[in-house]
């Protein structure tokens, strides 16, 4: 065996052994950091960041920005509710809204937690529409003066290309069983009957939104209806309207959660930690790459931009979904 071949073999074996050790470590810690770490009485911190969706997992994409999974959020709230050492929950909301049904799932779980433990919402840059929907269930709401919130409204949107298709000589061929099966099709204009039916659906979900705010905030229905125009307001305006309790950031919300739970001022606040996966190994290697860091920065910037545009202009997730 040549000297170069021997050195190469030793290097390969060392590298292989290192990979095995890392993989064994990650595998041995799967499930070890699921939930709220630490001991003693403490406050749970749960983040809801991005457009609210009913998918199994959240994440981010270039077009939709950050996505907050109602499934994951409900699971974290449930874990906080069942943990004896968790005495209060702080929900950090930074969301332009999203799926109406997914928002209702989170709202319902917050209501459950609130029966046993105080839930304090801390609004970030944006807690509008569905972001406000879930916040309204909390024991107390904090917003920054410049937070964009409110937007108590519902939207159903879609695109229609019939004029463009006619110009280019393109025709759609659709076979349906049921009068409304292809409702809101992008290939033709909506009929008056279809628009009326969709308007009734949107109005019903809007009424559900109003009822949720009335119940969560303890406000008069007529008062909430005056505010339920879909308009966005600042945190300062929301406080004056009764939609927010106090002006302040995450620090103030944490302090209030401790006070409501009758915990000492130095009681720890711990954020939810996901279960580790062997795929974390790939991410660990990627963090050292300058190309990876650059691509992450680009995606983070695009995510922030698209989240801001979605929050201010559309406030919905995907055409054809009833969103708030």
319: CATH: 3.90.226.10
Which residues sit opposite 89 in a β-bridge?
44, 119
Instruction: Give phi and psi for 101, each to the nearest 5.
Output: -65, -40
**Cα 215 to the center of its chain, rounded Å:** 22
Strands 42-49 and 59-61: unpaired
- Asked whether residue 20 is domain-assigned, the answer is no
- Asked whether residue 124 is domain-assigned, the answer is yes
Q: What is the pLDDT of residue 301?
A: 43
Closest C-alpha to 233, from 303, 155, 140, 131 = 131
- Asked whether residue 73 is domain-assigned, the answer is yes
97: containing domain: 33-152+228-280+304-323
Q: What is the pLDDT of residue 295?
A: 38
- Asked whether residue 195 is domain-assigned, the answer is no
Active site residue 172: no
Closest C-alpha to 103, from 33, 221, 182, 208 = 208
- Asked whether residue 162 is domain-assigned, the answer is no
- Asked whether residue 196 is domain-assigned, the answer is no
- Asked whether residue 197 is domain-assigned, the answer is no
Instruction: Give the alpha-carbon dihedral of 272, 273, 275, 277, to 10 degrees.
Output: 150
Check 129, 151, 185, 303 and give the catalytic one: 129
Measured between alpha carbons, how far is residue 84 from residues 40, 215, 256, 266 in Å? 9, 27, 19, 19
- Asked whether residue 42 is domain-assigned, the answer is yes
Active site residue 181: yes
Sequence-distant (6+) residues with CB within 8 A of 137 are 107, 110, 111, 114, 119, 212, 216
Per-residue pLDDT tens, the chain, 324 aa: give them: 566 666 767 667 777 777 666 656 554 444 445 788 888 999 999 999 999 998 776 665 555 568 899 999 999 999 999 999 999 999 999 999 999 999 999 999 999 999 999 999 999 999 999 999 999 999 999 999 999 999 999 998 888 888 888 889 988 888 889 888 888 888 888 889 999 999 999 999 999 999 999 999 999 999 999 999 999 999 999 999 999 999 999 999 999 999 999 999 999 999 988 765 544 444 444 434 333 333 333 344 444 444 444 444 333 333 345 667
Check 82, 85, 181, 274 and give the catalytic one: 181
Stated pTM of the model = 0.76
How many structural domains are present in the chain? 1
CB 50 within 8 A of CB 95: yes
CB 92 within 8 A of CB 250: yes
Q: What is the pLDDT of residue 26?
A: 52
User: Alpha helix locations (H) across the chain?
Assistant: 3-28, 70-82, 100-116, 130-135, 162-167, 192-217, 221-227, 235-241, 250-260, 280-286, 290-309
């Amino acid at each position: 065996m040549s000297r170069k071949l021997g050195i190469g073999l030793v290097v390969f074996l060392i590298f292989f052994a290192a990979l095995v050790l890392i993989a064994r470590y990650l595998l041995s810690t799967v499930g070890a950091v699921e939930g709220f770490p630490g001991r003693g009485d403490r406050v749970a911190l749960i983040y809801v960041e991005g457009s609210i969706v009913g998918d199994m997992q959240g994440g981010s994409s270039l077009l939709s920005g950050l996505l907050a999974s109602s499934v994951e959020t409900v699971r974290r709230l449930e874990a906080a509710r069942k943990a004896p050492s968790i005495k209060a929950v702080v929900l950090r909301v930074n969301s332009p809204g999203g799926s109406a049904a997914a928002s209702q799932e989170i709202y319902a779980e917050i209501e459950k937690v609130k029966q046993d433990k105080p839930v304090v919402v801390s609004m970030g840059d944006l807690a509008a529409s569905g972001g406000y929907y879930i916040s309204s269930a909390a024991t107390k709401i904090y917003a920054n003066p410049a937070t964009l919130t409110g937007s108590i409204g519902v939207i159903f949107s879609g695109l229609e290309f019939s004029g463009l298709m006619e110009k280019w000589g393109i025709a759609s061929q659709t076979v349906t069983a049921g009068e409304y099966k292809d409702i809101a099709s992008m290939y033709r204009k909506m009929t008056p009957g279809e628009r009326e039916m969709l308007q009734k659906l949107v109005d019903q979900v809007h009424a559900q939104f109003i009822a949720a705010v009335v119940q969560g905030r303890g406000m008069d229905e007529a008062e909430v209806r005056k505010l339920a125009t879909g308009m966005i307001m600042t945190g300062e305006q929301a406080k004056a309207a009764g939609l927010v309790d106090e002006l302040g950031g995450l620090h103030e919300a944490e302090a209030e959660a401790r006070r409501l739970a009758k915990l000492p001022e130095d009681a720890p606040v711990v954020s939810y930690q996901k279960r580790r996966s062997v795929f974390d190994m790939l991410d660990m290697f990627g963090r050292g790459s300058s190309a990876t860091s650059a691509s992450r920065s680009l995606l983070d910037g695009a995510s922030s931009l698209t989240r801001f545009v979605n929050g201010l202009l559309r406030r919905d997730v995907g055409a054809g979904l009833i969103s708030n």
